[in-house]
Amino acid sequence: MQRRYPPSHRWRQAQSIDELAGMASKRLPAFAWEYLNAGAEDERTLNDNRSAFQRWQWRPRTLVDLSEIDSSATLLGRKCAMPLAIAPTGYNGMLWRDADIALARAAQQHDIPFTLSTVSCNSLEEVAAAIPTGRLWFQLYPLRDKQATRDLIARAQAANAEALVVTTDAVVLGRREWDSRSYLNPRRLTLRHTLDALCHPRWAAQALWPQGLPALGNLLKYLPAGQHSAASAATYISQQMATDLSWETLAEIRQQWSGKLIVKGILNVEDARHCQRLGADAIVVTNHGGRQLDDSPASLDCLPPIVDAVGQQLEILLDSGIRRGSDIAKALALGANGVLSGRASLFGLAVGGEAGASHALTLLQQQLHNTLALLGRPRLSQLDRDCLAPPLHLSSASSGYRTANALHEHPATMPSNSPTNDDMFLNLLRDGFGDSVLLGEEIPASCFSDWTSHAPCRPLALVRPATTDEVASLLRLCNEHSRPVVPQGGMTGLAGAAVPSADSIAISLGRLTGVESVDRDAATLTVRAGTTLQTVQDAAAEAGFRYPVDFGARGTCQIGGNIATNAGGHGVIRHGMTRDRVLGLEVVLADGRIVDLMNGMIKNNTGYDLKHCFIGAEGTLGIVTRAVLRLAPPKGETHTLLCGLPSYPAAVALLHRLRGAGLALEAFEVMWQDFYTMSCGWRDGQPPLPTSHPIYLLCEAEGEASHLETALESALASGEVEDAVLASSTTQARELWAIREATGEFPLKLAPINFDISLPIPTIGAFVEAASAMLTQRWPGIRIVNFGHIGDCNLHLTVDGHSLAKDTAETRHAIEAEVYRLVGDYCGSISAEHGIGLLKRDFLHHSVRPEALEVMRSLKHTLDPNGILNPGKLLG
Q: Alpha carbon of 447 to those of 451, 471, 643: distances in Å? A: 11, 18, 42
Tell me whether residue 288 is one of the annotated catalytic residues.
yes
CA distance linking residue 381 with residue 218, whole number of Å? 38
- Cα–Cα nearest to 566, from 843, 758, 835: 835
Q: How many CB atoms sit inside 10 A of residue 668's CB?
A: 24
Tell me whether residue 141 is one of the annotated catalytic residues.
yes
Catalytic residue among 141, 222, 648, 820: 141
Environment class of residue 807 by beta-carbon count within 10 Å: exposed (0-12), middle (13-18) or buried (19+)?
middle
- Cα–Cα nearest to 47, from 350, 329, 341, 289: 289
Catalytic residue among 110, 260, 274, 288: 288
Please list, in sequence order, all residues whose beta carbon lies within 8 angstroms of the beta carbon of residue 246, skipping any fewer than 6 positions away.
none
**H or E segment at 784?**
strand 783-789
CA distance linking residue 868 with residue 504, whole number of Å? 9
Long-range CB contacts (within 8 A, 24+) of 207-210: 207/32, 207/93, 207/94, 207/95, 207/96, 207/97
Amino acid letter for position 835: G
Catalytic residue among 110, 200, 260, 264: 264
Catalytic residue among 45, 167, 531, 811: 167
CA distance linking residue 700 with residue 82, whole number of Å? 65
Long-range CB contacts (within 8 A, 24+) of 437-443: 437/461, 437/462, 437/463, 438/462, 438/463, 438/464, 443/506
Q: How many CB atoms sit inside 10 A of residue 358's CB?
A: 22
Concatenate the DSSP letters of all residues of 723-761 into one string: EEEE--SHHHHHHHHHHHGGGGGHHHHS-EEEEEEE--G
DSSP character at residue 62: -
Environment class of residue 534 by beta-carbon count within 10 Å: exposed (0-12), middle (13-18) or buried (19+)?
middle
Report the DSSP pairing between strands 388-389 and 57-58: antiparallel
CA distance linking residue 178 with residue 787, whole number of Å? 64
| Residue count (the chain) | 876
Give the up-direction half-sphere exposure of residue 560: CA atoms within 13 A in the CB hemisphere: 30
CA distance linking residue 148 with residue 157, whole number of Å? 14
Tell me whether residue 183 is one of the annotated catalytic residues.
no
Exposure class string for 129-167: b at 16+ Cβ within 10 A, else e: ebbeebbbbbbbbbbeeeebbeebbebbeebebbbbbbb
- Cα–Cα nearest to 487, from 508, 469, 472: 508
CA distance linking residue 446 with residue 340, whole number of Å? 35
Helix (H, G, I), strand (E, B) or coil at 317: strand
CA distance linking residue 798 with residue 751, whole number of Å? 9
Catalytic residue among 8, 117, 168, 532: 117
Beta bridge pairs of residue 233:
none
Please list, in sequence order, all residues whose beta carbon lies within 8 angstroms of the beta carbon of residue 858, skipping any fewer than 6 positions away.
none
Helix (H, G, I), strand (E, B) or coil at 630: strand
Long-range CB contacts (within 8 A, 24+) of 7-15: 8/351, 9/351, 11/348, 11/351, 11/352, 11/356, 11/359, 12/352, 12/359, 14/359, 14/363, 15/363
CA distance linking residue 469 with residue 134, whole number of Å? 61
Tell me whether residue 264 is one of the annotated catalytic residues.
yes
- Cα–Cα nearest to 216, from 205, 206, 227: 227
Helix orientation angle between 343-375 and 17-27, rounded to the nearest 10 degrees: 160
What distance lies between CA 404 and its chain's CA centroid? 20
From start to end of 598-716, where are the E strands? 623-630, 638-645, 664-672, 695-702
Active site residues: 117, 141, 167, 264, 288
